[in-house]
């Protein structure tokens, strides 16, 4: 009787754990909310799909493990020492527990490879997308700095535009980052884009993304997305937060023109405040 | 229950060992005492009873600046007449800056403003409990203290509170003005007090710049270059003529972009109000430090600390800061990118190596920062780098690296060349150099680090 109770408790625990892996997303979805931040990058839904898919397998395997555990408790815990049955050389079992996990791992690997290629293709805007906007990204303890090519589209010329912390980006246009680090390893992470990539000193790391215009509008056209450093890079790591500023192409062009011109003519001296208050 | 006593014993043992290991955290201290430099200067000079003199200067500083935990300025007669209080700098802001502060507040206090607006629209009798976001803390406390009756529902939202400072004006001009509107205005035109800015400085800047801005924070000691000693009032990356105090807007821009190639980060994510407040506090530290230095100088000259001299020092230092805006360096129009021809760059190269601009003497013929003029003979005859104002060895920038601390845009370089770098051996440009000459130098310097279309500078 005691065995059955313990076995049922184990089973109940298993159900609880498995449900807790899957349920929050369902409950939140039913409530019209989302488990994750909005999917704003092209290909972002593939990342979430891959997560859900892997999670399903993990939950299933964990469920099976709990069932086996409960069965062992129920059938085996009452026997006295030395009374257990011994088995060896069961080819059927060996094959089973080799092939099934291997099959799952191979399946998940193939799914990930496929998703990775599809995400990379999506992130470049798919076919027919316009010319990508190249941005040089520099991670430095503890800031993100950006260089834009300016109107002439070439880096290393006088009309380059630099920005720190803020990274204006046109919505719907593919963006190609060339990221480098001045000091230690940083990691470029924008949760809404489902994009995260390490920035390693001594090399240029490419990263492409496109903000989906429809998704961006559907999410209420957020004006800033947090760009976090996702690699512990020193004491100021917590404060190494940039801002990705999604904007329409014409607003981006305006910004780039203004910022470029500001490099050549000084800011106007602000007027005095004698008339105020 | 048997576990409890042993748990207690364990906790007590843990606490005891933590205490007995002798670990004392490095706590910054706030005091209105004079600095070690002042003491040394007084002791060295012909001042009778230098300890007493130091104490008198410390006392005078407390009179003029309050204590670091309760900062404020002593108001001169002229200020009282003009109704000016530099401790409340809201009235010093330009229109543009004031608008930027309001914009920033609308984002920073969006939740509070929404709540007040909703209460007004719904015609609620009292303000609802306002949301308490992390960064609203001190502003929220000030709001609740000022608007306590309104929040508690003791005063109706629609009616004007009779004690309200604007009650008289508002009812005359606009009978529909309510106390709810005033609550809204509180959030929209919120401006930090000097105390609040001091607290922000402590959380953001103290690690490097130290509790009193002496550049001696716990992290600052290990940095190269060292953090600025804010008490000197001398800043390197300014937008003004040589040897002038920086402008408000210039300091705000510096905070927003950080200093590339150093440990000074960009504080662009702070709201404009917070940045203006930090500038208030930086100015407070500088004016206080400069007043201390100048008072000490006068005391050394006069052999005693005279109240009139301290007052003169206070006025002189304020004069420097007040006239900063008059010395803002307007950058004349230079060549557009298309007009920067090989001839312009060649002209810049000629000037760079010539004797008038004389850049090459420190920066080297090819701009690699290896000129001969930075070396001098040390006290023991050794060859050493010339020192800057803060006693640090000079390292003229390697201009081929493309990292410019004061900013890498053409205008930034124009200002560096024109005004020099405060406190360092980099001088202002010779007055006989024309605007075109300086622009030619700017474009030669920029050409040194450009690789012609290839990424990877």
Indicate whether B242 pLDDT > 50. yes
**A116 occurs within a structural domain:** yes
Same domain, A258 and A166: yes
Task: Answer for the pair A238, A211: CB distance below 8 angstroms, yes or no.
Answer: no
Q: Looking at A35-39, A47-51, B278-282, B439-443, which range is the least confident one?
A: A35-39
Burial group, residue B369, by CB count within 10 angstroms (0-12, 13-18, 19+): middle
pLDDT tens-digit map of A43-90: 898 998 999 899 989 999 899 999 999 988 888 766 666 666 666 788
Q: Which residue has the higher pLDDT, B2 or B268?
A: B268
Same domain, A174 and A102: no
**A269 occurs within a structural domain:** no
The Cα–Cα gap between B351 and B347 comes to 6
pLDDT at B168: 47
pLDDT tens-digit map of A108-119: 999 999 999 999
Residue-averaged pLDDT of chain A: 86
A239 inside 8 A of chain B by CB = yes
pLDDT at A36: 82
Residue-averaged pLDDT of chain B: 83
**A83 occurs within a structural domain:** no
DSSP secondary structure letters along A217-241:
HHTT--S-EEEEE-S--STTGGG-E
Q: Looking at A152-156, B169-173, B220-224, B383-387, which range is the least confident one?
A: B169-173
Overall domain count for chain A = 2
Note whether A162 contacts B454, CB cutoff 8 Å: no
Task: Answer for the pair B119, B128: CB distance below 8 angstroms, yes or no.
Answer: yes
How far apart are the CA of A179 and the nearest CA of chain B, in angstroms? Answer: 10
Indicate whether B45 pLDDT > 90. no
Q: Which residue has the higher pLDDT, A270 or B189?
A: B189
Indicate whether B93 pLDDT > 60. yes
- pLDDT bin (cut points 50, 70, 90) of residue A173 is very high
Q: Which 3 state secondary structure label does DSSP give B5?
A: helix
Q: Looking at A162-171, B175-184, B223-232, which range is the least confident one?
A: B175-184
Note whether B410 contacts A158, CB cutoff 8 Å: yes
Same domain, A112 and A173: no
Set of chain B residues whose Cβ sits within 8 Å of the Cβ of A236: 265
Looking at chain A, the whole-number percentage of residues with pLDDT higher than 90 is: 52
Q: Which residue has the higher pLDDT, A71 or B29?
A: A71
pLDDT at B31: 61
Q: Which residue has the higher pLDDT, B249 or B20?
A: B249
pLDDT at A107: 95
Q: What would the mean pLDDT of A172-180 be, rounded to a whole number?
A: 94
Same domain, A160 and A140: yes
Same domain, A56 and A143: no
Looking at chain B, the whole-number percentage of residues with pLDDT higher than 90 is: 39
DSSP secondary structure letters along B241-275:
STT-PPPHHHHHHHHHH--TTSS----TTS-HHHH
Q: Looking at A22-26, A169-173, B375-379, which range is the least confident one?
A: A22-26
Question: Measuring CA to CA, how many Å separate A158 from each of A169, B345, B449?
Answer: 21, 13, 11
| Residue with token string 């409990």 | B129
Same domain, A104 and A143: no
pLDDT at A86: 67
Note whether A159 contacts B337, CB cutoff 8 Å: yes
- Size (chain B), residues: 457
- pLDDT bin (cut points 50, 70, 90) of residue B173 is low
- Reported for B214-223, long-range contacts at CB under 8 A and 24+ positions apart, including other chains, are B214/B35, B214/B289, B215/B390, B217/B28, B218/B26, B218/B28, B219/A235, B219/B263, B223/B262, B223/B263
Q: Which residue has the higher pLDDT, B179 or B267?
A: B267
Q: What would the mean pLDDT of B277-297 be, rounded to a whole number?
A: 94
- The encoded tokens of residue A111 equal 């799914």
Same domain, A59 and A104: yes
Set of chain B residues whose Cβ sits within 8 Å of the Cβ of A158: 337, 340, 410, 443, 446, 450
**A82 occurs within a structural domain:** no
**A88 occurs within a structural domain:** no
Dihedral, A213, A219, A222, A225 alpha carbons, nearest 10 = -90
Same domain, A99 and A32: yes
Q: What would the mean pLDDT of A89-101 be, rounded to a whole number?
A: 89
The Cα–Cα gap between A96 and A198 comes to 39
pLDDT tens-digit map of B329-388: 888 888 888 888 899 999 999 999 998 999 999 999 989 988 999 999 888 888 999 999
Same domain, A103 and A170: no
Domain boundaries, chain B: 110-188, 337-449
**A271 occurs within a structural domain:** no
| Residue with token string 């993990």 | A58
Interface of B with A in 317-376 (CB under 8 A): 325, 328-331, 333-334, 336-337, 340
**A168 occurs within a structural domain:** yes
Same domain, A147 and A254: yes
pLDDT at A81: 61
CB pairs under 8 A between A and B: 100
Interface of A with B in 145-164 (CB under 8 A): 145, 152, 154-159, 162, 164
Q: Which residue has the higher pLDDT, B133 or B335?
A: B335
B276 inside 8 A of chain A by CB = no
Q: What would the mean pLDDT of B434-450 be, rounded to a whole number?
A: 92
- pLDDT bin (cut points 50, 70, 90) of residue A275 is very low
**A197 occurs within a structural domain:** yes
pLDDT at A129: 74
pLDDT at B2: 42
Task: Answer for the pair A39, A6: CB distance below 8 angstroms, yes or no.
Answer: no
Same domain, A151 and A104: no
Residue among B253, B409, B451 minimizing CB distance to A263: B409
Question: Domain range holding A7?
Answer: 2-75+95-123
pLDDT at B167: 47
Set of chain B residues whose Cβ sits within 8 Å of the Cβ of A267: 249, 253
> For the domain that residue A238 is a member of, what is the CATH number?
2.60.40.420
Indicate whether A276 pLDDT > 60. no
pTM: 0.84
Q: What would the mean pLDDT of B430-451 be, rounded to a whole number?
A: 90
Set of chain B residues whose Cβ sits within 8 Å of the Cβ of A272: 94, 325
Same domain, A8 and A112: yes
Q: Which residue has the higher pLDDT, B211 or A136?
A: A136
Q: Which residue has the higher pLDDT, A210 or A31?
A: A210
pLDDT at B181: 82
Which of 3.20.20.80, 3.20.20.70, 3.40.50.970, 1.10.760.10 would CATH assign to domain B337-449?
1.10.760.10
Strand duo A205-209 + A175-181: pairing: antiparallel
């Amino acid at each position: 009787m005691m065995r059955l109770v313990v076995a049922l408790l184990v089973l109940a625990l298993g159900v609880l754990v498995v449900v807790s892996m899957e349920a929050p997303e369902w409950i939140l979805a039913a409530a019209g909310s989302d488990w994750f931040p909005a999917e704003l990058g092209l290909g972002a839904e593939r990342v979430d799909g891959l997560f859900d898919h892997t999670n399903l397998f993990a939950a299933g395997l964990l469920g099976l493990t709990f069932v086996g555990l409960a069965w062992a408790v129920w059938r085996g815990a009452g026997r006295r020492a030395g009374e257990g049955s011994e088995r060896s050389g069961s080819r059927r079992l060996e094959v089973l527990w080799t092939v099934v996990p291997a099959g799952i791992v191979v399946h998940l690997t193939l799914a990930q490879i496929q998703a990775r290629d599809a995400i990379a293709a999506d992130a470049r805007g798919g076919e027919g997308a316009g010319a990508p906007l190249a941005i040089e990204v520099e991670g430095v303890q503890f800031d993100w700095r950006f260089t834009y090519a300016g109107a002439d589209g070439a880096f290393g010329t006088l009309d380059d535009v630099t920005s720190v912390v803020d990274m204006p980006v046109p919505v719907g246009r593919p963006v190609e980052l060339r990221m480098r680090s001045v000091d230690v390893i940083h990691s470029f992470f924008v949760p809404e884009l489902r994009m995260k990539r390490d920035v390693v000193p001594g090399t240029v790391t490419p990263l492409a993304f496109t903000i989906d215009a429809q998704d961006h509008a559907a999410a209420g056209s957020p004006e800033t997305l947090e760009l976090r450093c996702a690699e512990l890079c020193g004491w100021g790591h917590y404060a190494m937060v940039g801002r990705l500023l999604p904007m329409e192409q014409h607003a981006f062009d305006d910004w780039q023109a203004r910022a470029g011109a500001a490099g050549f003519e000084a800011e106007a001296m602000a007027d005095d405040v004698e008339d105020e208050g | 229950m048997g576990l409890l006593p042993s748990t207690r014993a364990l906790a007590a043992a843990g606490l005891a060992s933590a205490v007995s290991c002798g670990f004392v955290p490095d706590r910054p201290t706030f005091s209105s005492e004079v600095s070690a430099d002042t003491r040394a200067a007084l002791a060295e000079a012909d001042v009778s009873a230098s300890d007493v003199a130091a104490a008198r200067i410390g006392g005078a500083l407390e009179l003029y600046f309050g204590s670091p935990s309760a900062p404020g300025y002593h108001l001169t007669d002229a200020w009282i007449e003009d109704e000016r209080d530099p401790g409340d700098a809201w009235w010093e802001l330009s229109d543009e800056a004031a608008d930027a502060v309001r914009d920033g507040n609308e984002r920073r206090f969006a939740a509070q403003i929404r709540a007040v607006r909703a209460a007004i629209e719904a015609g609620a009798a009292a303000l609802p409990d306002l949301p308490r976001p992390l960064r609203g803390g001190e502003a929220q406390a000030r709001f609740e203290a000022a608007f306590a009756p309104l929040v508690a529902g003791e005063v109706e939202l629609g009616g004007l509170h009779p004690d309200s400072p604007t009650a008289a004006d508002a009812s005359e001009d606009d009978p529909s003005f309510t106390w709810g509107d005033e609550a809204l205005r509180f959030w929209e035109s919120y401006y930090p007090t000097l105390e609040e800015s001091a607290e922000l400085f402590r959380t953001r800047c103290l690690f490097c710049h130290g509790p009193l801005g002496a550049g001696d924070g716990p992290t600052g000691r290990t940095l190269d270059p060292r953090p600025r000693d804010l008490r000197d009032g001398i800043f390197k990356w300014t937008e003004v003529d040589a040897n002038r105090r920086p402008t408000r807007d210039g300091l705000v821009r510096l905070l927003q972009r950080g200093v590339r190639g150093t440990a000074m980060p960009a504080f662009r994510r702070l709201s404009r109000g917070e940045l203006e407040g930090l500038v208030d506090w930086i100015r407070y530290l500088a004016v206080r430090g400069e007043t201390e230095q100048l008072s000490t100088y006068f005391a050394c000259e006069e052999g005693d600390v005279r109240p009139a001299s301290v007052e003169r020092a206070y006025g002189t230092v304020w004069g420097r800061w007040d006239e900063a805006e008059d010395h803002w360096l307007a950058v004349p129009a230079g060549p557009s990118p298309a007009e920067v021809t090989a001839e312009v760059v060649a002209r810049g190269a000629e000037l760079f190596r010539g004797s008038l601009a004389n850049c090459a003497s420190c920066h080297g013929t090819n701009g690699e920062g290896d000129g001969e003029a930075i070396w001098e003979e040390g006290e023991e005859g050794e060859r050493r780098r010339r020192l800057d104002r803060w006693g640090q060895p000079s390292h003229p920038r390697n201009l081929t690296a493309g990292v410019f601390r004061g900013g890498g845009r053409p205008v930034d370089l124009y200002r560096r060349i024109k005004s020099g770098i405060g406190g360092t051996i980099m001088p202002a440009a010779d007055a006989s150099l024309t605007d075109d000459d300086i622009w030619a130098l700017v474009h030669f310097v920029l050409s040194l680090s450009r690789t012609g279309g290839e990424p990877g500078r």
